[in-house]
Each structure stands twice: as C-alpha cells, then as structure tokens.
Amino acid sequence: MRRRWAAGLLSLALAFGCGSSPNASIKKHLLRGVAQIRTTRDKTKLHAELGRTLASLRRDRASTAAGRRAKSLAIEGFESTRKGVRSLLDFEENDSGNVAAATRDAMRADRFLERGANRLRAAGSLLGVRLGRLGGR
C-alpha cells in the first residue's frame, strides 16, 4: 500500500512542476556554447566544439514561442560565430604577406563575430539570461 502511495505521489510531483523548466535544454546548450567561446583559445578546437553545440541545439525542442525564437537566434549566433572563427583561421593560415587578403579576412571575421555575439545575447535575453561580452564583443 505504501509503495503505491509513494509511486503515486512521485508521479504527481513530476507532473506538476518538479521536472525541468520549459526550454531548459536550449538554455543549457546556449550557456555551454558561450562558455566555449569564452574559454577556448585554440580556434580549430573552438570551431569543432561550436559545431557539436550547434548539432545539439538543432535537436532541442522549444516549448514556447519565446523558446522557439531563442533557439533560432542561438543557432544564427553560433553559425555566425563559427564563420568568424573560420575567417580568423583563414587569416592565420593563408594570408601571410598578402595584405589585401589579410584585410578581407580580418574584416569578415570581425563582422561575423559581432553578429554572432549580438544574436547570442538576444537569445539569452529571451531565456532570461544576461550574457554580457562574448570574446571581446
């Protein structure tokens, strides 16, 4: 009898809010990606880590309209940041001695990194998280 009562109470508790909050998975992946941007110094490693974070974020399901918008903004932000990191890698790997190509890659990196930071801050705002500066932006 006590086991049934305990099982019933546990299922009631889970049904009425002791579970995870709406959009928790999206928020978790957003914060993980932001932590990667802030802490990873190796650009090749960061590019790969952001790819994995993007894959996880794309699998997430949003439970509210704000969550769907935050997911969309986070995906755009990580994609832009990834393009910026790729441009920085191109700058380091391919542009020695070629001033025009170096300038192009640097401007492209700056544009994509700024756009990515803005999208990620907007996504965080929709999820109730203040992100602040990301990678100097």
- For residue 68 the two structure tokens come to 């769907």
Choice between 52 and 15, residue whose per-residue pLDDT is larger? 52
Band (pLDDT 50/70/90 cuts) for residue 137 is low
Distance of CA 77 to the CA centre of its chain: 7
Task: For Cα atoms 114, 75, 85, give the angle at the middle one, nearest 5 degrees.
Answer: 45
Residue 103's pLDDT band, with cuts at 50, 70 and 90, is confident
pLDDT in tens, 50-98: 999 999 999 999 888 999 999 999 999 999 999 999 999 988 887 777 7
118/11 Cα distance (integer angstroms):
41
Q: Which tokens is 85 given? A: 């990191």
- Exposure of 50 by Cβ count < 10 A (0-12 exposed, 13-18 middle, 19+ buried)? buried
> Please, what is the Cα angle at 69 between 67 and 73, to 5 degrees?
115
Q: How many CB atoms lie within 10 A of CB 84?
A: 24
Domain boundaries, the chain: 22-126
Q: Which 3 state secondary structure label does DSSP give 125?
A: helix
Collapsing DSSP states into helix, strand and coil, what is residue 115? helix
- What is the Cα–Cα distance from 57 to 51, expressed in whole angstroms? 10
